[in-house]
Structure 1
Amino acid sequence: MKIVIIGSVAAGTSVAAKARRNDETAEITVYNADHDISYSICGIPYFLGGEIDDLATLTPRDADWFKKRYNVDIHTRHEVTAIDSNAKTVTVKNLTTHETKVDHYDTLVLATGASPKVPQIDGVDQSHVFPVRNIQSAAAIDQYITLNKSEKATIIGAGFIGLEMAEQLTARGLEVTLIEGENQVMPHLDRDMAFRIAEELQKNKLTLLLGESVTQITKKTVTTSSGNTIDSDLVILATGVKPNTKLIEGTAIARGESGAIKVNQQMQTNLPNIYAAGDAAESFSVITEKPLYRPLGSTANKMGRIAGDAMTGGTLAHRGILGTGILRVFGLTVGYTGLTEQEARAEGFDIEVLHNIKPAKAEYLGGAEMVIKAIADRRTKRLLGVQIVGEDGVDKRIDVFVTALSFKAKVDDLFHLDLAYAPPFSTTKDPVMYTGMALKNAIDLKNKLITPEELVTRISNGEELQIIDTRATKQYEASRVDGAINLPLAKLRSEASQLNPALTTVTYCNKGVTGNAAQNILINQGFKDVYNLSGGNKNYQSFKNSQN
């Protein structure tokens, strides 16, 4: 069997390695238009910021290494320009000599990756404007900054790459302006969580412009849709990527709803003996089972391994993805998985939403707060999605939630996890466990939750609510929920008779725990409809600020 693979970054090399492990007799040829193979795109910002000293660290393997280890022939600077699925051939152009040849295949793999979205902006093609695309672009950006002594950078786009580049260029000493067309950073987060990242950016002296688009780029300035003119001698395009499917134009290979190549669980396309994997291929959601396109190196590696196994008689099948992501933004770590609140509502789920503010480890050992936003389905009690923002411990918790979501865990299950505990690493009731416990109680209507957004809406609609601030008077006077009365928890039992048990009541404290205790007191005293404010006053004030 002759296997031809187009592309040799994460997916392509994974296909080749797995196919060789399964079949020592197959002839495996890889064509790659780029200079480098199997490189870490995700490491590029950290090279540009100086955390990685040598760019070669991101290209640990070359074609000779693959030949010796796997007996795979990788041809760099060779672009496949056409596919003939009937004849089972590909046309290949040598980009160094400009010679063209036709090669045949028994099995073909499309691992062509993704390409940057380049916005239609006047001046976007100038020499100081760069996408963050590959090792060559990383070297070019680094060289440009050094030779031109760049001082002011504008980054267009505040997603993964935009935020990582903002952090790293700031670390390199550049003055950074970050421009995002949406009204929030990180479109894969709910706005109330994304706002916390925006605060961190501003705390680190970045200029952040939201709800703005760039209309013109000159050698020294960037102009936005609102008329802002920003001094800038370097522009980074972080406006997202799209599946690189140009090669299949004019063929019968089908695209999916996302525009990426449509595949089944064995990574097979609609044409026999043609597979697709990585950023060029469409995945699907573990939760909704609908098509989902989230290009990441981890997913590309997984898809490549599945394709290599399937074409050589293996039984691996793709189980879908959750759209998990994690990144560092200065002092914060941001992790997310599954559906956001907005996505869950759009899918028609009847959801419960919890904001859980807890330290990552014992506070007496310096445990810093994490904000966990968890979404669950009330009907099935299944966990649907989680977003976490915090200084420490986010990676550990998000991976626990990923595991739970992957195995379709219910919120009840989280409390019963036998998680590792010692004060330097966790709290006795880990934030994951507390999340499950609080969601279960809310869904069972024992301890109902109300989000800041829902509370603000009900107040704005003129609903008569009894809002009780259970904190100390000094805290109440410093900041409070609109319309709240101060009744500290220590006095609540004796003074609850002053309240109206027939009115809808909302209790709250600073972060949620004392508010929950007050909620239990009132429920036990016969109050009919009592909510605890999700995330307490701290979360409420953050939400209010995010709306300004």
Structure 2
Amino acid sequence: MEKMTTNKKRLLIVGGVAGGASCAARSRRLSETAEIIIFERGQFVSFANCGLPYYVGDVITDEQKLVVANADLFKQRFNIDVRLENEVLEIDREKAVITVKNRKTGEIYPENYDALVLAPGAASIRPPLPGIDLPGIFAVRTIPDSRRIREWISTREVKRAVVVGGGFIGLEMTENLVHRGISVTLLQNQTQVMAPLDPEMATPIHDLLVSHGVTLGLGDGVVGFEANADGSINVITQSGATHATDLVILAIGVRPETTLAKAAGLEIGERGGIRVNAQMQTSDEKIWAVGDVVEVQDFVTKEWTFIPLAGPANRQGRIAAEAIFGRNTQFRGVQGTSVCGIFGLTIATTGANEKTLKRLGWNYDKVYLHPGHHVGYYPNAKPINMKLLFSPGDGRVLGAQAVGEAGVEKRIDVIAMAIQLGATVYDLEEAELCYAPQFGAAKDPVNIAGMIAAKDLREDAPLVHWEDLPKLDGMLLDVREAYEFAAGHVETAVNIPLSELRQRMVELPTDQDIWVYCQVGQRGYYATRALRLNNFRAANLSGGFKTYQAGKFKLNQYLV
């Protein structure tokens, strides 16, 4: 039986939500005698900020559903003192004392600590642009933020909105505003939405947004705002365009709330967050930091990074608590495993993307595939666009991205765990996963991704990629049926359908490389194997014509 901890430690936590609240609850489960106080400058100690766009969109109609836990619950269930609307103004590290202001009464008072945890989160980026403080321009970070947006929409009878930024919040807000019958323009400074994805993987998202009536302006950042006489706002962009609107949502991103930490002289990292060790301890041995305020190491690349996600924040809170109470647990780092839904499309990613690997100069390889989320003979199979990145030396999985209508997050979750365990594409090949016709296939998309990569590494079916096509000094062979070829093909390709290939191999050069493609890669693989077994120098275009189209033709389609 575990002995009750009699540690009289005084633990103060600055901020609640995910990191601070989980740290407090875990601390109580480790010590019945510690005094635990949470100081929260807002009105809510623990709320679901990931649900805020859906509250604005009336998908969630009851504001109380967003409250994960209130101050009374913390007191009754955990004997934790939560002080709402109490803002920590200063840390005196030498005396181990914080200065607190009660925002309701104006009282300023000190509190001493044995251990201090900083979990103030991150603040929405609000760049100093002309007109940025005009009425009708909102960020979405707290329940009061979403409450104000709902009120503005109702009282102003909003018909038009401009969303600035195409990340998680930007996309979710776009969907929810459209859900409320509002015409939306989405402006993004970068040339794609969803920066964690590689550009060609974002193509289906761009097409989907436009198909739902969203005006999409990529590569066109906002430079200012102007008020109109009727109360509307002009949003002015780098291209010189002006977008008249009734509402602006700023979803540019967030930055760590490090004011307290900087004033206290704690070490701040290169990415602007508090630098912590594997036990979430700062440069002061009595102070820990968790959640959106910290920098942590990327699990794959080992780079210091800033990734504000709820899952890592919760884990960090628990690890800080365990470190404070003497357990030797460590934070493994972040993989950026994340998912987003937009108009019925699911977008998920984990690990490193190709942009990062290129920037770091890593040696890597990749595969594209477009499998159904379950077997094709069962009704309503939906394709998943997948991309797997791996090390060409040992096959270690480095990252994955997937976009589709169903089964997307399931596959990325499997690959996320594979990355955690240092697994290889050969492990994905052999992974035993659930199968019934309505759920998957005997060869799951995860298996298929591993198989394609493993066959490339074994040189059974070497891969080439759409961006490599200009380098080809040989034949490009399209093995789709003639009607598919007629509907669209790569300009220099020769068409010999797979069904005729064995009879027509005499038409192929034996002294040149032959790069083969079909629609999504499967027939190309069959053709590549047949050609290689007949002594042709064949390779398969990964992802087929579908990936070629996404990368070659559509990347710049919505650029301003």
What is the TM-score with the length of structure 2 in the denominator? 0.95
Per-residue CA distance 1:218-253 (angstroms, 9 max, x = gap): 342212111111120100000000111011223221
2:503 is aligned, of 481, 494, 506, to 494
Residue of structure 1 in register with 2:34 after alignment: 26
Counterpart in the other structure of 1:445: 459
Residue in structure 2 matched with residue 103 of structure 1 by the alignment: 111
Q: Distance in 2 between matches of 1:547 and 1:362?
A: 30
- In 1: Cα distance, 2:403 partner to 2:457 partner: 24
- Structure 1 range deviating more: 247-256 or 259-268: 247-256
2:375 counterpart residue number:
362
Q: Match for residue 431 of structure 1? A: 445
Deviation by residue 1:138-196 (Cα, 9 ceiling, x = unmatched): 10101110111111000000011000100110001100000000111111110001122
Q: Does structure 2 conserve the Cα–Cα contact (< 8 Å) formed by 1:352 and 1:443?
A: no
Tell whether 2:527 aligns with 1:518: yes
Identical positions, percent: 38
| SS in structure 1 at match of 2:483 | helix
Deviation, structure 1 residue 541: 1.6
| CA distance in structure 2 between the aligned counterparts of 1:329 and 1:104, rounded to whole angstroms | 47
Q: Report the counterpart of residue 394 of structure 1 in structure 2.
A: 408
Cα deviations across residues 412-458 of structure 1 (Å, max 9, x unaligned)?
00111111100000022110000001001112222111111222x32
Distance 1:444 1:348, change over 3 A: farther
Distance in 2, Cα, partners of 1:496 & 1:258 = 56
The 3-state SS of whatever aligns with 1:386 is strand
The residue type equivalent to 2:29 in the other structure is: R
Indicate if the aligned counterparts of 2:301 and 2:352 stay in contact, CA closer than 8 A.
Answer: no
Which region of structure 1 is more displaced relative to structure 2, 219-228 or 374-383?
219-228
The structure 1 residue matched to 2:306, chosen from 293, 298, 320, is 293
SS in 2 for 1:422: coil
Q: Aligned equivalents of 1:547 and 1:255: distance in 2?
A: 37
Q: TM-score, normalising length from structure 1? A: 0.97
1:310 maps to which of 320, 323, 327: 323
Give unpaired runs (5+ residues) of structure 2.
1-8
Q: What is the 5 A alignment of 1:207-222?
A: 207-219=215-227, 220=232, 221-222=234-235
Equivalences, count: 542
Within the candidate set 46, 49, 63, 2:71 is matched to: 63
Say whether the 8 Å CA contact 2:40–2:84 is kept in structure 1: yes
Question: For residues 306-330 of structure 1, what are the alpha-carbon distances to aligned partners after superposition, in whole Å with 9 as ceiling and x for unaligned?
Answer: 1111101223210111011100011
Deviation at 1:482, TM superposition (A): 1.9
- Paired residue for 1:92, among 88, 96, 100? 100
Letter in 1 for 2:458: D
The CA deviation string for residues 365-390 of structure 1, in whole angstroms up to 9 with x for no partner, is 21110010111110121010100000
Mapped pair 1:284 → 2:293:
no
Q: How does 1:319-398 map to 2 (within 5 A)?
A: 319-364=332-377, 365-398=379-412
Q: Aligned pair 1:3/2:17, yes or no?
A: no
Residues 1:454 and 2:463 are matched in the alignment: no
CA contact (8 A) 1:223 1:230 kept: yes
Tell me, yes or no, if the aligned pair for 1:267 and 1:303 is still in contact at 8 Å.
yes
Amino acid at match of 1:297: A
Moved over 6 A (4+): none
Code of the residue aligned with 1:39 in structure 2: it is F
After TM superposition, list the pairs within 5 Å mapping 1:159-174 onto structure 2: 159-174=167-182
1:135 is displaced (CA, Å) by 0.6
Tell me if the contact between 2:262 and 2:268 (Cα under 8 Å) persists in the aligned partners: no
RMSD (Å), alpha carbons:
1.1
Amino acid across the alignment from 1:475: E
8 Å contact kept, 1:252–1:271? no
Equivalent residue, structure 2, for 1:466: 475
SS at 1:270 equivalent: coil
Query: 2:434 corresponds to which letter in structure 1?
Result: A
Task: Summarize deviations over 1:12-64 as a string: whole Å, max 9, x none.
Answer: 11111111110111011111111111101100001111111111110132111
d(CA) in 1 for partners of 2:186, 2:427: 41
Following superposition, the deviation at residue 290 of structure 1 comes to 2.0
Match of 1:537 among 523, 545, 554: 545
SS of the equivalent of 1:282 reads strand
Within 5 A, what are the aligned runs for 1:117-136?
117-136=125-144
Look up the equivalent residue of 1:545 and give its one-letter code: F
User: Does structure 2 retain, via aligned residues, the 8 Å contact 1:115–1:133?
Assistant: yes
CA distance in 2, matches of 1:286, 1:215: 36
- Distance change >3 Å, CA 112–CA 334, structure 1 → 2: same
Structure 1: stretches of 5+ with no match in the other structure = none
Question: What aligned pairs does 1:138-287 form with structure 2 within 5 A after superposition?
Answer: 138-219=146-227, 220=232, 221-287=234-300
Distance 1:250 1:236 in 2: 31
Q: How far apart, CA to CA, are the structure 1 residues paired with 2:494 and 2:468?
A: 19
Structure 2: distance between partners of 1:465 and 1:195 = 29
Aligned partners of 1:352 and 1:442 also within 8 Å: no
Indicate the SS of the match to 2:274: coil
